Structure 1
């Protein structure tokens, strides 16, 4: 009821704001000014006349910084308007991967517990690690502002103008850590039209989502846009100890934008946004426990108690010298047997008595329940402010994008999913980023040449505290980090008439990073200490020296693109591009080391050929591409000792192909489909990376990604009834670089369906639908640590129904 009260207050407040500004807005409009409606906004308004139009209409994008039609630029880009996203039933940005070939977008809490940590991969390149000393492989941008951290990157789609997915390295214009591609989200700007809209969604698991927007012209040249949303949904995994539901949603987000046409040639946009997430934590469960050890009974022979004579074909236990310190699950059972008064190793005739809860094994495995007792939650507060200035000087246009963002996150979880202490994690993350970008855009040579040049500055500081409680040790990891990045870039396109285009670009990037590890052992429970001394040793020693380490890297990333416009509606192109992702520091370390480990930058070089065409009077659109990517110095997460660490483990080659088709034959029909094929292969392995081989498969990458959708609209009086069915398929994928079979996800299909009725005038709509209609049980993420030996699984949400009412005035 308290949450409903908050939603109601939000709706009433925005409505009152809109009404109070109506009279002034009407006076301003009568005065003959106000902020103009942009081309993109006009497309959105036109698209609202039909759901088919929303999906099949042309989309204007800024993938090359100029406003261009997506179909007219020689890039592999999937673009979705806000109306098209609504028509597809998407409420979170991760849903675009369903319709985008060769893209993976998963929720991945990793060894932390952040519910909104994103793992994004495009064309086989990405990163699942959330630690701030490791960079993502796909750049996420909101209104042109780079979002540095993967925590909080599961963006909700509230008042969105469009989403652009650029596939392949975008090392020239986007630059920062876009080695796999870029995901760019653009929100709707304030306009000179008074508008209030909102929607309420209810559904399974007590879902209640509310979104509202008010666009308020304030003066001839000034407009305000306010949007807010509250998303609430119960989880689908029960935490037994306190009956909390894991995997729940409790998010509130809002945005305020001000648009000022300060002069006929000067536009200023200011924006402030904030998001608060307070969840019970991700719906991770235990699939099983690996009780193997290379130290203790490696041949899995019949065991004999300590002191038994050597016996052929049997293993005589020899504590504490054979303590399985390479397997915390088995180590717990080892200690419980010899210090806890019970037999957790299962050998005869040694039969002590004791509480059964001291033994850790598959008894805690469950697909729907979690038996953990450590604190479990995920709390994030994110806010940002930005200012965009556009100055049109006729021959050239100047743009400035200034932004500040802050993230404060706390998340904790029980990694062993049991009442026993095997692996428990706590993270506290503070991150502050500032960025400034200047762009100069112009045209020359009678319109044959268009160019963009720019400068970019990025600064990030923060602190990440990891408290880790394991069977043998209780310690703190993490530390303070900082990054300063500088870049200069330029790109130009010269057109030979209306037939040939050549585009060339270059970017220079320099990254300076530092890391101050603050890592201390609080309690050492090594079995030798306990078995010999009878109590844990608490040396309070440093794991890494308390000394700041620094690294500096720079790179030049070029791009060349040739395009042939075969007809007004068809083009073919070929391109060469490079991407660069900076290196970093190994933050998770155990046992102690004398120096902080580092890893170097990775680089991708891509060769691509593609085509775009529209046939049948532009009713049929077919786009396709083939590519080859040379991927060097891969940053792969593997295990060294206790910790999952990042290493430059390999070089690889990625071959692939993509196809996207849309057909709008008329009569209210719309059909679309996509296909992606990937064949990534390691070409060399670093000798130190013994965990992978050339035969290993890339993590979180499916060889095939397929999708198909069918929509049909029928006029009923002055209203319209629309039915839609979506199908998608993903081939099997491993969830880690080790190719752990127990967390392998076989190929699976998903079906979503909805039916919508738009009332006459289209100011009121009702939508009823279902997601995961066949109740497919599939992994969104999987976790396995070679020290913890717990197979953890995060299954996606089961079948859910929903009903949405949308309105606007």
Structure 2
């Protein structure tokens, strides 16, 4: 009952505030016509060029470094609370693997053979894998979240949208920033950043952060910490102004995460030990070493050449690589029913040549060539101690991709603007896959000869290639200086691939590659500045046709039931987003955002091994990680005093019921709200700042992800036999409890 009440209350409050503003503003204008200063102008690069967010016919949210520091954001997953129709959270059993969904499109499984649906970019460099993509927020310029397919300018795997992480620009000024943070659960963070000029035309900068925290819980049977944090991250950069028109920027970053692997919370009693679920959702058991390592590093070289006042050429050369060595105890009993040690390795090289042409009269164009060469490898064991078996699954996927893209904007007059663009992409993939079944209990790092496999489930190589043209068109009309209406069509695709878990001993067809997913989206929106610049109100409605969705389907074979990834689903996704901010006074801003997604499967062809026939299960399936409603309301109030400026802010974020997987399960989470508040002090000279941040004030327990390998049950829900490995494995992973932190910073 609480969900519709919240929605009606939020909608009523939003409408009431909007309706009341004109009368209130008129009264204030009669008192003091010049009291309001208006809202700050926001610049974004959503279309690969710098422009006001109000001029961009794209649904985009932007957060500056000051915004993020004021509310105490530590990593990008916290933006989930503030961006409508968006999911950004830490994946199950990990600390730094990203699960990202926008408007129902994302990546459920972070296996190296599958591609993301939301693109992550660090300074316009694509990050291909979700491992290590939970980026820490430090030394940045801003973060932009683009919603809807971005296939023309950003390429494949952005059919849900894109997140742009923009680091701080080098200016040549001498800067040194120190910040220390202490908080609950033993939080102790140190961040140091700075830059300087070595000459009139050569600047250098760097940042380093140590982020430490004790666990929210523990592995009860070993005493080790669970949900702890142990991260070191750093960045170096240099900028050379070769001439007035030519510059070169070099960047390097590295992150090392040695936090313990996360243990899940059992939702049911153990079939092996009889233990009941713990009282604390952050407590668990583990039958594996608490060793975990995630390392990522990247470099880039960006050359900007202003050929003349109209034409700029840019070269972006970059490389990234990552390594993960982790242990995941799926059943979380300590008895060891389903243990998964895993190693992931990936590397990528990208080269982009970009041209930006601007005719100040009526025409802009951005286009270029893009090359990607990447290899993603992995090896994970499925260790079943109760059965005395180990399945070793692994292989590599090599991907080469080339793209040619261009997008032009023509202004017919001051009011009407047309944008047309397209991108042609060609993907080539080659995969090697193996899957062996061994007698005995083996781990990936266990020395010695495992002996000959009991079963060679898979050992094959395959190749595939795809090509796709992704068009884009938008038409915008400016009613006046303060309001723009737009309509757009965008197409995008998620790359095809190979099932790295394929078991050809059960299903020979499992080695066949699956094709790309395709999304066509129509969007109509409004960008407006109202009340003489004191109110910003942006809104969009969208409709998406989702085709050839990649799903894992079952096939009955002689030896049992085998799975295979097929393009077996079609869906439609529609909804709307509204974002607004109002400067009530010079010192008080209120903001609100609401998103609604109606995502429905039209067809999901699934083989029923009992009925021995294909059946449509679209009436059973629902979209994962896609709440129907998401909302956020907040405020920011500043106070001037003799000792500096105080800024108090707070927000209340709501997400409606969320299904963890496509099929309903015990893991599904009901709707919940999270409240946060911060109090910041800034000295008059701008050098000192202190921030007190309280997150999840109500200490709400909310589940984000889980593993569902449930034991068979009868119609009444009673277990009728053992689950995989002899255990009923239904475990959940949870968001952060209430935390309090105090940060002190000094700028030299």
TM-score by length of 2: 0.87
2:493 is equivalent to residue 580 of structure 1:
yes
Structure 1 residue 368: deviation in Å?
3.6
Within the candidate set 727, 733, 751, 2:675 is matched to: 751
Counterpart residue number, 2:368: 454
Query: Which residue of 2 is the match for residue 442 of structure 1?
Result: 357
Conserved 8 A contact 1:662-1:670: yes
Matched residue, 1:699: 624
- 1:445-499 CA deviation, whole Å, 9 max, x = no partner? x621110111000011132011110244312001122111111000000001211
Corresponding residue to 1:108 among 83, 87, 91: 91
Asked if 1:150 corresponds to 2:63, the answer is: no
State the Cα deviation string for residues 670-725 of structure 1 (Å, max 9, x = none).
Answer: 11110000000111122438694334221111000000111111111151111111
Residues 635 and 651 in structure 2, CA contact (< 8 A), matched pair in contact too: yes
Partners of 1:537 and 1:153 lie apart in 2 by 37
- Unaligned regions of 5+ residues in structure 1, if any? 1-52, 290-328, 334-357, 526-535
Residue 766 of structure 1 deviates from its aligned partner by 1.1
In angstroms, what is the RMSD of aligned CA positions? 2.2
**1:219 equivalenced with 2:199 (yes/no):** yes
Q: Is the contact made by 2:157 and 2:493 (CA closer than 8 Å) also made in structure 1?
A: yes
Structure 1 equivalent of residue 590 of structure 2: 671
Per-residue CA distance 1:167-190 (angstroms, 9 max, x = gap): 000010001210100101110121
Alignment match, 2:285: 371
Residue 41 of structure 2 is aligned to residue 58 of structure 1? yes
Q: How does 1:481-520 map to 2 (within 5 A)?
A: 481-520=397-436
Matches within 5 A, 1:592-671: 592-593=505-506, 594=508, 596-637=511-552, 646-671=565-590
Residue in structure 1 matching 2:655, options 716, 719, 730: 730
Larger CA Rg, structure 1 vs 2: 1
Q: What does the per-residue CA deviation read over 1:126-153, in whole Å, with 9 as the maximum and x for residues that have no partner?
A: 1121111100000000001000001111
Residue 235 (str. 1) matches residue 210 (str. 2): no
SS in 2 for 1:554: strand
Q: Which of the residues 535, 555, 570 maps onto 2:483?
A: 570
Alignment-derived partner of residue 185 in structure 2: 205
Per the TM alignment, residue 591 of structure 1 is displaced from its structure 2 partner at its CA by: 7.7
Distance in 1 separating the partners of 2:280 and 2:176: 46
CA distance in 1, matches of 2:277, 2:709: 19
CA distance in 2: counterparts of 1:212 and 1:691, whole angstroms: 56
Secondary structure of the residue aligned to 2:478 is: strand
Flag structure 2 segments of 5+ consecutive residues without an equivalent.
Answer: 1-35, 442-449, 608-613, 711-722
> CA separation of 1:642/1:723 partners in 2, compared to 1, >3 Å: closer, same or farther?
farther
Q: Does the CA contact (< 8 Å) of 1:682 and 1:695 recur in 2?
A: no
- SS of aligned partner of 1:95: helix
* Contact 2:403/2:424, CA 8 A, preserved across alignment: yes
1:88 CA displacement: 2.2
User: Residue 751 of structure 1: SS of its match in structure 2?
Assistant: strand
CA contact (8 A) 1:513 1:552 kept: yes
Corresponding position of 1:522? 438
Separation in 1, partners of 2:275, 2:452: 28
Q: 1:474 aligns with which of 384, 390, 399?
A: 390
- In 2 relative to 1, CA 54–639 (structure 1 residues): closer, same or farther, beyond 3 Å? farther
Give 1:345's aligned residue. none
Which digits, 9 at most, give the CA deviation of each residue in 1:245-288, with x for residues without a partner? 11111101000000111011001100011000001112422112
Counterpart CA distance in 1 for 2:86 and 2:402 is: 29
Q: What TM-score, normalized by structure 1, do the two folds share?
A: 0.80
- Report the equivalent of 2:334: 419
For 2:499 and 2:565, the matched residues in 1 are separated by: 6
CA shift in 2, pair 1:363/1:697, >3 Å: closer
Matches of 2:251 and 2:571 in 1, distance apart? 41
| Cα offsets for 1:345-380 (capped at 9, x unmatched) | xxxxxxxxxxxxx54664679624212222233311
8 Å CA contact 1:468–1:475 kept in 2: the answer is: yes
2:466 corresponds to: 553
